[in-house]
Amino acid sequence: MAPIRWSPPPPLLLLLFFFAAAAAPATATEEDPSAPTPPPSPTPWPERFHAVMFTNLTNYSYASTGPPLRITDLYYDWPRRRNLNLVRHQLSGDPLHDVEWNNGTSFYFDDSSCRVERFHVGVLPPWWLSGGGAEYAGRAVAGGIECHVWGKAGFIFYYEEVATGRPVRWDFIDVTGIQQFVMRFEPGKALEDDKQWQAPAYCFMDDDDDEGKGKRNGDGEEVGDGFEEAIRILRELAGAAATS
């Protein structure tokens, strides 16, 4: 029996097959190259970290009547819902303690004076920026470091290193114009010395004359002056993060 020979398909069928394949819809796995790339998201803060901050208020007289140059050791401790800023002015030996608790209470004290402030929000959560409400502003170079930049709530611009996700700087876009620069960032580092967190006994004196006025140190400068403006704004951001 002779083998069956199949005749080649006519050219018209080949053309129909070609056009059908070209008109077939793209599969779900194919990506649209024209679709815009979503903007990057901010990196959440570690639950504990230590940061060394530099603040220069030389050109911002509204922000402070005290020494304009300061170094701050920031200890963030979210598991224990607390935050500590050890603020050292230029050539000063006695740091200002700013201890913040999640119930909205902040203690500003040094060796001779204290003031207590109460806010309606607590410590910033790690997701205060990444949890929503931040608007991506693009890339910028800050101090020679390539950064992503986000703005939030009309209060702050936040700079984050592109390569590592570490915070680099934040600018308060209000009348104070405060800028804070991160000189060192150590995720996971905690301050275990309870003496640094504990407000002294004179912070709890019941003195009606000083209530609402704030105690002052020897040279007349109000404790926490200027620096607390930044803290106040961050407290407001904490409230926004808690409700976002």
5-28 pLDDT, tens digit per residue, is 545 555 444 333 444 444 444 444
Question: With pLDDT > 70 as the criterion, what percentage of the chain qualifies?
Answer: 68
Flag whether pLDDT at 71 surpasses 60: yes
Is 5 domain-assigned?
no
Strand partners, 114: 109
111-151 pLDDT, tens digit per residue, is 989 999 998 889 999 999 988 889 999 999 999 999 999 99
208-224 pLDDT, tens digit per residue, is 544 444 443 433 344 44
Which pLDDT band holds residue 228 (cuts at 50, 70, 90)?
low
pLDDT at 36: 83
pLDDT at 167: 97
81-113 pLDDT, tens digit per residue, is 999 999 998 888 789 999 999 999 999 999 989
Is 119 domain-assigned?
yes
Q: Total structural domains in the chain?
A: 1
Is 202 domain-assigned?
yes
* Cβ neighbours of residue 51 closer than 8 Å, sequence gap 6 or more: 73, 74, 76, 167, 182, 184, 185, 186
155-207 pLDDT, tens digit per residue, is 899 999 999 999 999 998 876 778 899 999 999 999 999 999 999 999 998 65
Number of alpha carbons in the 13 Å side-chain half-sphere of residue 181: 12
Is 193 domain-assigned?
yes
Number of alpha carbons in the 13 Å side-chain half-sphere of residue 16: 5
* Nearest Cα to Cα of residue 133 among 153, 115, 116, 147: 153
Cβ count within 10 A of residue 38: 7
Domain with 232 in it:
58-133+187-243
Residue 87 and residue 99 in contact, taking contact as beta carbons nearer than 8 Å: no
Is 10 domain-assigned?
no
Is 90 domain-assigned?
yes
Is 155 domain-assigned?
no
Q: Are strands 134-142 and 114-118 parallel, antiparallel or unpaired?
A: unpaired
Residue 185 and residue 51 in contact, taking contact as beta carbons nearer than 8 Å: yes
Give dist(CA 136, CA 239) in Å, integer.
20
Strand partners, 180: 55, 170
Is 120 domain-assigned?
yes
Give dist(CA 56, CA 46) in Å, integer.
26
List, in sequence order, the alpha helices (H) in 170-226: 194-197
Flag whether pLDDT at 74 surpasses 80: yes
Residue 168 and residue 142 in contact, taking contact as beta carbons nearer than 8 Å: yes
